[in-house]
Structure formats: structure tokens, C-alpha cells
Structure 1
């Protein structure tokens, strides 16, 4: 009887630990999804407002995408002092291999930031967000090669639909060109934004691959430290061309000439920096707490929200071509999500047996 009670008690403790682990993971995913939503909706709007009212510094806006990384010092410091008394708890969790990967990914993120903000300077938010939705297709393709994620006919369908959605926007790009914008600049912005989506589609699986190769347990502390390193290296990369172009010296003059006034100029820059950093933290957090493909799904799901805010806040038009592209985006998202649901539904059938064997 005592042996039976001990076994039952062991099972009960294991079940409780499993439930706590699942709930913590779910909370972390939800928290990062909220940050991603705030950043992805608010960041592009603020950047577009900057360009619409006289802002011209593309490297400055690229720099803002990750320059808010010092905000992470506070939670990292709190965690450090909290665990300082525990001798078994490491003070710096990022292994050298992951530090090197963070430097490389930070360099890529710096390039991606410039491509993204360059496109934002010439394209309406509604167009750039729809082009950005093609990131899910690129993420799925790169995830197949980088982290060996298997394709299904649902994910292939999603890739095809989102590719056609981008093609529709490309074929009708003249109809939504802002007044005063040249065809060459609009076309360049279009392909730069598409390039940014492709590069970001590679960066997301690369994050997941780096974490797996480092062979470390993903914790909230580790996630914060990796995010800090990646954003720091990306900011350093963008700082070099800013110094060369004398962007820092030009900020006071640009603020004085800004159509909405100097105070609103600085407010927009600060708020954009915070919002974009939320987007970066949320994006990386979703990858670390779930997967790169789930991060691509959430990003694509936020496209309709971006569309609504762009139409109401910036009075952008919503043409038939955009509606068709958005429909294809949502159709592709639904197809991919349903495919993932079907795959995950089959997995529990094969998991219970090993658990019974271990007990």
C-alpha cells in the first residue's frame, strides 16, 4: 500500500509540475504576443507619420527599430539581483556560441531594419503591411531548410496564396502611389519591403536554429539577454552609417522644420522607438517560447489590424486590389493554421505510451 501511495504521489507531483510548466509557457507566449501586437501596429504608423510630415532620415528610423534595447537592462538587473544569492544560479546565461549567433543575427537585423524603413518611407502602411505578411511564406520556406520543419499541403497553399497576394499589389502599384511620389521611388520601396520580409523570414528560423544548437533550456532570463544582445548589435550596425551621414547632428534641424513641431517630432521618435522595441521583444519572445513559424502566423494575423488603423488614422485608401490581397493573406493564414492544428491533433496519440513506460 505504501508503495502504491508513493507511486500515485509521484504521478500527482509530475502532473502538477507539467501543468505549471504548460501554464507558464502559455503566459509567456501570450505576453510576447501582446508586445508584438503593440509594436507591429503602433510602430509602422509612427514611422509613417514621421516620413509624411517632413522626416527624411532612413538610417535614423532603422536605428529606432532596435535602439530601445537599454529598456531591457531593468528586468535583466532585477533578475540578476534576485538570483545573486543562489550560488547554483548562473549570473549570465548566454553561452559563447549563442553570443556569436546573436552578433550575426544582429547584423542581419540591422540590414532588415534599413530595408523595412526604406520601404516605409515611400509606401502607405496598408501596402507595406500586406507585403510584410508574405513573411509567413518566407518563414515557412526557410524553416523547412534551416530547422527541418515539414511542409504540408496546407502550408504550401498558404505560401502560394500569399505570393499571389504580393503579386497583385505589384501589378497595381501605381494606383496607390502617394501624391508627389515618383514611380521609381515607389517601385524601389515596394521591392525593398519585400526584401525585408524575405530577410526577416530567414532571421526567425535562424533564431530557433541558434537556440537549438546552443543546447540550452529556454528561460525568461535567457530570452531577455539574447534579445538585449541581438538588439545591441543591430543598433551598433545602424549607428555606423548614421555617424557617416551625420544623422545625429541633423536631428535638431529636422525637428525645427518638422510640420507638426519640434515637440511632436521628438515624441514621435521616442514613442516609435519604444513601440518598435516592443515589436522586437515580442517577435523574439514568441520564437523562444514557441516557434519561428508561430511567430510568422501571429505577424500575418496582425495584418488586418494594421490595415484598419492605417485607414482610420492616416486616411489611406483601401482599394479592391488591397482587399483581394488581404483576402488571400487571411485565406493563406487560415490554411496554414488549420494545417498546424491537424498536425498537433495527431501528436498526443503517440505521446502517452512513453510516459507510462517511464512510470
Structure 2
């Protein structure tokens, strides 16, 4: 039969190939749109949250546990994308195996990562209190270097010369900032700058550890990385982190000073409430973007994009808080950007290599047909 109509069979194969190509182009466009939106959410949320947290301290706020609480307390917002994408979640779950992770294992994962997240948020709060925004932001760039190390040992990621270059550059970037002990903001105590330096580095390392542990949990415990499972990871770990922050707020006795802190806030009670509320919302907007990038790409890529906010925050810090961008900070910023682009370019090479492999497989299937 095929020999009787070779031209007709050829046209059928060409039409089939055109349909597959069109479907692939549509899928790729949708993917790029989703990734772009998530990148925007992550960058805007992260920059806004960092500036609002610093603004809280500059206007008279002093509660480290309250600041820690803002990192996670608005987690119910994450139910919005979960409900919005409810249909796609159901479709994805139908395509996945019906594997249900043990309840006790899930609880241990959520509680463990949630408690580590609370400790990480507290260190970030202290770091932002003892450092200027620009210095704090540049030190946060080291999370990429820590991410590379943790991914190598925990997630079996490969080290390349570009990855190693990124680690070295980001380490030097932090070292350049570390040798500066003077303060560049009137609200920052220069005597506590070394402690802020250490805590911010520790927080960056812990943040990278959290991402690697999430990646390991998805692979070994949850055994799924659909939108629902990724969002649940963020929601329940944030719930545990919020409970821990509330416990710390009351155990430390800081809750007693909140009323007086609100009344003495330079922008008034309304300004105090708006600062706390919007910083909480901004962190969850950041988490929505973070979750989206973990779902669409990987936790490593989400960390790379998070670091992209580094050159943005200091610019706003100079405008809004009067931070100084001296020569040492410029050098640190350039080293951080160089390290970031090295890491990003490695991901680009990996993406092109994977895409080439998929294209070759597609051609083989078509020729085989």
C-alpha cells in the first residue's frame, strides 16, 4: 500500500512534522513566558523586600524576631497560585505515578527545612541590621558559590571550569567587602559590622543548603516535582518557620516592645504597619517566583536569578538610604557580576546541549517513521 502512494505518504509525514514543530514552538513560547514572569516576580519581590526590611530598621524598628517573621508569615498568599493553576496541577498529577510519600517522612522534611529556614531568616535579619543595604546585598552574592559546593556534594552536580571560576570570583567579592570595617550609613554601628559580615555569609550558606535539601527531598522523598508538590514544600516549610519565629518573638520578650516601637516609628503607626505588611507580602512574591523557577527549570537556576538582584539593590540603596558606592564596593560588585555571568553561562551551555540532544532524538524519530 505504501509503495502505491509514495507522494501521499511523504506529504503525510511532512504534515505530521509541521504539526509537531508548531506544537513544540507553542510549548517553548509558553515556557519562556512562564519563566520570564517568574524571574520578574523573584527580582521585584526580592529587591522590594530587602529595601523595606532596611527601611524598617532605619525608621526606628529594632525587633529581629519580627523581621524574621516577615520572611514567612504571609505564606497563605502561596495558595493563590495553587488555586489559580488548580486545573494544570490536576492534569500534571494524572500524568504522574500514584506514588504517595510516607506522611512521617513528609513531616520530617517540612519541619526540618522549616526550622533551618527560620534560623536562616534570623541571621539575615541580624545581617541587615548590622550592615548597609549595599554591603549586605553584595555579601548575599556568595550564595551562588555555596550553592555550587552543596550541589556538588548533596545533589551530585558537576563542577566545570566556569562553575569554579564563579566560586573563586564570588569568594574574592566577599573578601573585598569583608576587609571594610567602616560603616557607610549613619544608622549602622561600625563596631557590629564584622558580626553582620559573618552572619550574612552564614545566612547565604544556609540558604544554599536549604535549596539543595529541597532538591534532595524532591528526588528521594517526594519523588515528584510538579507544581503542587513544589508549592506545598514552600507552604508547609513557611508554616513551620512562622511558628518558630512566633515562638522566638515571645520567648525573647521582644513582643513587649512592639507597641512602643510602633509609637516611636518615625513614619508613624500606619507607616510601621505598612512597612511590616508589605515586606511580608514582598517576600512571598519572591517565593512565588522562586517556586515557579524551581518548577519550570531547577533550584540552581532560581538561585542564579536571585543573585541577579545584586546590582539592583545597591542602586536603590544609594538613592533611598544614602549608601556610598566607593571604589571597594564597585570592585566587589564587578567581581560578583563576573561570577554571576560565569555561572549563568554554564547553565546556558547545559541548556543548549540538552536542547541539541532533544533535537537529534526528534530527527531520529522522524527519519525512523
Residue 361 of structure 2 aligns with which residue? 354
- 1:186/1:337 CA distance change after superposition, 3 Å: same
Q: Does 1:218 align with 2:208?
A: no
Q: Does 1:135 align with 2:143?
A: yes
Deviations 1:285-312 (A, max 9, x none): 2222212222222122211110100000
Report matched runs for 1:160-309 at 5 Å.
Answer: 160-174=168-182, 176=184, 178=186, 181-183=189-191, 185-213=192-220, 214-219=222-227, 221-309=228-316
Work out the CA distance in 2 between the residues paired with 1:320 and 1:84: 53
- 1:179/1:353 CA distance change after superposition, 3 Å: closer
Residue 37 of structure 1 aligns with which residue? 43
Work out the CA distance in 1 between the residues paired with 2:278 and 2:360: 52
Shift of 1:62: 0.6
Report the secondary structure of 1:176's partner residue.
Answer: coil
Residue 335 of structure 2 aligns with which residue? 328
Unaligned runs of 5+ in 1: none
Shift of 1:338: 2.6
Normalization by structure 1: what TM-score? 0.88
- 1:195/1:178 CA distance change after superposition, 3 Å: farther
Residue 150 of structure 1 aligns with which residue? 158
Does the 8 Å CA contact 1:106/1:234 hold for their aligned counterparts? Answer: yes
Report the secondary structure of 1:148's partner residue.
Answer: coil
Work out the CA distance in 2 between the residues paired with 1:290 and 1:39: 19
Work out the CA distance in 2 between the residues paired with 1:176 and 1:145: 38
Does the 8 Å CA contact 1:218/1:289 hold for their aligned counterparts? Answer: no
- 1:4/1:229 CA distance change after superposition, 3 Å: farther
Residue 50 of structure 1 aligns with which residue? 56
Residue 126 of structure 1 aligns with which residue? 134
Residue 74 of structure 2 aligns with which residue? 68
Shift of 1:342: 3.2
Deviations 1:90-123 (A, max 9, x none): 9x99844556433322221111111101111111
Aligned-residue CA RMSD (Å): 3.0
Q: Which of the numbers 102, 107, 111 marks the counterpart of 2:110?
A: 102
Report the secondary structure of 1:303's partner residue.
Answer: coil
Unaligned runs of 5+ in 2: none
Deviations 1:128-148 (A, max 9, x none): 000001111111111112222
Does the 8 Å CA contact 1:208/1:288 hold for their aligned counterparts? Answer: no
Work out the CA distance in 2 between the residues paired with 1:53 and 1:34: 28
Report the secondary structure of 2:137's partner residue.
Answer: helix
Does the 8 Å CA contact 1:53/1:260 hold for their aligned counterparts? Answer: yes
Provide the aligned length of Structure 1 versus Structure 2.
Answer: 356
Work out the CA distance in 2 between the residues paired with 1:80 and 1:168: 47
- 1:195/1:151 CA distance change after superposition, 3 Å: same
Does the 8 Å CA contact 1:69/1:231 hold for their aligned counterparts? Answer: yes
Work out the CA distance in 2 between the residues paired with 1:319 and 1:47: 23
Which shows bigger deviation, 344-353 or 297-306?
Answer: 344-353
Does the 8 Å CA contact 1:66/1:232 hold for their aligned counterparts? Answer: yes
- 1:302/1:89 CA distance change after superposition, 3 Å: same
Does the 8 Å CA contact 2:42/2:285 hold for their aligned counterparts? Answer: yes
- 1:94/1:229 CA distance change after superposition, 3 Å: farther
Report the secondary structure of 2:182's partner residue.
Answer: helix
Does the 8 Å CA contact 1:130/1:325 hold for their aligned counterparts? Answer: yes
Shift of 1:83: 8.2
